[in-house]
């Protein structure tokens, strides 16, 4: 299975321009799973809820149409972040698309910093999307800070965690090696680069998009300051074997009756 990330440098609010950047980066690429950053089409640093609402879409919107075309051209499942509008609420979401169909959306459940001023917290349970006999879980950026997120997806049977991100803290990439090791799952963290200075905020995004193996090895690491793509071949069968050795199974050995959750 060929999986990978697209590390971009979006221009705030310029959806068409940001779509074109992704399209050009993926020129002639064929892959099974492509992960784009969090809010890849809009940028991240909003100055009001009204501004965020003005860039929101439903699952038939401009971003959905672009991802459908991208999936058809590349032949892969495409996952990317967008602002999802549902009634009077907006969510920091990720859309999963295969061929000409939006399979579903995941709404970020752990909002970071001022996101809680613009977005409603995710109101959908974590779930697995099975496409072409591969089980894909989704989390967004700051969700990684809560180990319950990845553990829940692993317990649900995830082979791969798709992780769209706009990381500004320096911890995630190293932490993902442990998260993947203790859950024996693959992960694709797709981050962005660049600065956004808007209102009172000045965010520098850390790049370093990463593909992490089920055994904690880093299979690919992007530069911190360059637009970049990378795709590698993996065998998801490894993520289905939770045995650390002949005596220890990392999920079956859990003792939930002793845990305080």
Give buried/exposed letters for 153-176 (b at 16+ CB in 10 A, else e).
bbeeebbbbbbbbbbbeeebbeeb
pLDDT for 261: 81
pLDDT for 222: 98
Q: Has 124 been annotated as catalytic?
A: no
pLDDT for 111: 98
Count of structural domains, the chain:
1
* Rounded mean pLDDT, 113-121: 98
Q: Under 8 Å CB-to-CB from 43, ≥6 apart: which residues?
A: 10, 11, 12, 13, 18, 196
Q: For 19-63, what is each residue's pLDDT tens digit?
A: 999 999 999 999 999 999 999 999 999 999 999 999 999 999 999
- State which residues form the domain around 149: 2-258
- Of the residues 38, 57, 84, 115, only one is catalytic, namely 38
pLDDT for 16: 98
- Of the residues 108, 135, 180, 196, only one is catalytic, namely 108
Q: For 149-206, what is each residue's pLDDT tens digit?
A: 999 999 999 999 999 999 999 999 999 999 999 999 999 999 999 999 999 999 999 9
- Of the residues 141, 172, 180, 196, only one is catalytic, namely 141
pLDDT for 79: 98
Q: For 170-180, what is each residue's pLDDT tens digit?
A: 999 999 999 99
pLDDT for 252: 97
Q: Has 108 been annotated as catalytic?
A: yes
Q: Has 38 been annotated as catalytic?
A: yes
Q: Where are the beta strands (DSSP E) in 87-208?
A: 89-98, 101-107, 128-131, 134-138, 160-164, 186-190, 193-198, 201-206
> Which CATH number is 94's domain given?
3.60.110.10
44 φ/ψ sector (left φ>0, alpha ψ -120 to 50, else beta):
alpha
């Amino acid at each position: 299975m060929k999986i990978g990330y697209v590390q971009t440098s979006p221009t705030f609010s310029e959806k068409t321009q940001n779509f074109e950047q992704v399209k050009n980066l993926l020129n002639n690429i064929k892959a099974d799973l492509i992960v784009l950053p969090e809010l890849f089409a809009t940028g991240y640093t909003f100055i009001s809820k009204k501004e965020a609402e003005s860039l929101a879409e439903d699952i038939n919107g401009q971003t959905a149409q672009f991802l459908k075309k991208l999936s058809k051209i590349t032949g892969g499942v495409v996952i990317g972040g967008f602002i999802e509008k549902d009634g009077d609420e907006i969510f920091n979401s990720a859309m999963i698309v295969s061929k000409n169909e939006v399979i579903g959306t995941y709404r970020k459940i752990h909002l970071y910093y001022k996101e809680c001023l613009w977005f409603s917290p995710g109101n959908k349970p974590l779930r697995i999307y099975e496409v072409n006999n591969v089980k894909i879980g989704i989390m967004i950026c700051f969700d990684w800070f809560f180990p319950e997120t990845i553990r829940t997806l692993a317990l649900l049977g995830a082979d791969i965690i798709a992780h769209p991100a706009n990381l500004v803290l320096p911890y995630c990439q190293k932490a993902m090696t442990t998260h993947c090791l203790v859950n024996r799952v693959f992960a694709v963290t797709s981050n962005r680069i660049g600065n956004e200075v808007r209102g009172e905020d000045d965010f520098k995004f850390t790049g370093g998009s990463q593909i992490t193996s089920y055994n904690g090895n880093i299979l690919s690491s992007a530069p911190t300051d360059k637009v970049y793509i990378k795709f590698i071949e993996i065998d998801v069968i490894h993520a289905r074997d939770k045995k650390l050795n002949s005596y220890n199974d990392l999920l079956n050995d859990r003792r939930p009756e002793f845990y305080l959750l």
